[in-house]
Amino acid sequence: MKPSILVTRAVFPDVVARLSEHFTVEDNPDDHIFSEAELIQKLQGKDGLFANPADRISAALIQACPQLKAVCNMAVGYNNVDVAAATAAGIMVTNTPDVLNETTADFGWALLMATARRVTESEHYLRAGKWQKWTYDGFLGADVHGSTLGVIGMGRIGQAIARRSMGFDMQVVYHNRSRLTPELEARANNARYLSRDALLQTADHVVLVLPYSAAVHHFIGADELALMKPGATLVNIARGGIVDDAALIAALKQGQIAAAGLDVFENEPAFNPAFLSLENVVLTPHIASASAPTRRAMANCAAMNLIAALSGQTPPNLLNPQAVK
């Protein structure tokens, strides 16, 4: 008998078809958002879970689904999964690294450019019919070329962002849990390691790409924002919760920093409505990896992990090998 799986949210039909060759699949083409209780109910008798980063896979859910053997997240980030609880229950957890590095780095740049050069703010002005004449000081922004880029979280995506800065003649400073090798620093536009606070004081544009964990909750709060240069730009393509959104709103209101570009928010898809009243912020709905080829590659990667996990192989992107020891 084929193993049974749940695909929690709508996903490419051909990926569901691929999964159906290996599994009895319950999918969700209408894209309902299930409560934890509904997920638990649907997971009874299921061996695998094809999850979305918006699904919360808690310790309580894991405990309530004794047959579950694998949780395969269609995302590189996996802070939505209680990995420790999954490991203790012998459940494999996987993510989708690498396939999204370049696309996500492109989007970090899109937000950085849009934010520093006030692209959406000026477009809103034009669309509102307010553009009556050219002015010498209309929408003056910050230069990107020749400036100092600060990358917090210098993993694969952070390094891809840093590499792109060569074309803009930028200096790169970075902060990371551990220093890169000299070879990797050289490839990342000769990135220079700094403490978080020194980076915030040095960079003209700061991009956050670090993974979320409780240890970095509000890693950028009022005190850290106060360290940034007055004309600085902050971009967050990492996870909501890394930035204290209320503190950021206060800093943007006071002009403490020039602007922010945000793809992720605390409590998303809900977010602090005060952002909407600010002009100096570019807001996008968690789409950094959303190019058509990359989202498809992520879905296929999650499917490949699930197929391996439930056929007795080690999934290529297994996060918790201890689960199967």
Chain centroid to Cα 212, Å, comes to 9
Give CA angle at 322 (316, 325), nearest 5°: 95
Give CA angle at 241 (282, 224), nearest 5°: 80
Piece in contact with ligand GLV (CB under 6 A), picked from 59-67, 74-82, 123-131, 200-208: 74-82
Decide if 177 is catalytic.
no
Give CA angle at 246 (240, 251), nearest 5°: 110
236 binds ligand GLV (CB under 6 A): no
Question: At its nearest, how many Å lie between ligand GLV and the CB of residue 268?
Answer: 10
Decide if 239 is catalytic.
yes
Taking the least distance from each CB to ligand GLV, the nearer of 189 and 305 is 305
Which of 18, 77, 221, 271 is close enough to bind ligand GLV by CB under 6 A? 77
Q: By beta-carbon distance, which residue lies closest to ligand GLV?
A: 77
In sign, the C-alpha dihedral spanning 7, 8, 13, 14 is negative
97 binds ligand GLV (CB under 6 A): no
Decide if 145 is catalytic.
no
Question: At its nearest, how many Å lie between ligand GLV and the CB of residue 76?
Answer: 4
75 binds ligand GLV (CB under 6 A): yes
158 binds ligand GLV (CB under 6 A): no
Question: At its nearest, how many Å lie between ligand GLV and the CB of residue 254?
Answer: 30
- Catalytic: which of 117, 175, 196, 239? 239
Closest to 268 (Cα-Cα) out of 234, 242, 294, 293: 242
Taking the least distance from each CB to ligand GLV, the nearer of 141 and 261 is 261
Count of residues that interact with ligand GLV, criterion CB under 6 A = 6
Which of 202, 289, 305, 317 is close enough to bind ligand GLV by CB under 6 A? 289
Give CA angle at 214 (213, 215), nearest 5°: 90
CA atoms of 117 and 162, how far apart (whole Å): 19
CA atoms of 233 and 215, how far apart (whole Å): 24
Q: Longest Cα pair distance anywhere in the chain, in angstroms?
A: 72
53 binds ligand GLV (CB under 6 A): yes
Tokens matching residue 133: 């004449």
User: Which residues of this protein are in contact with ligand GLV, per CB under 6 A?
Assistant: 53, 75-77, 100, 289
Catalytic residues: 239, 268, 286
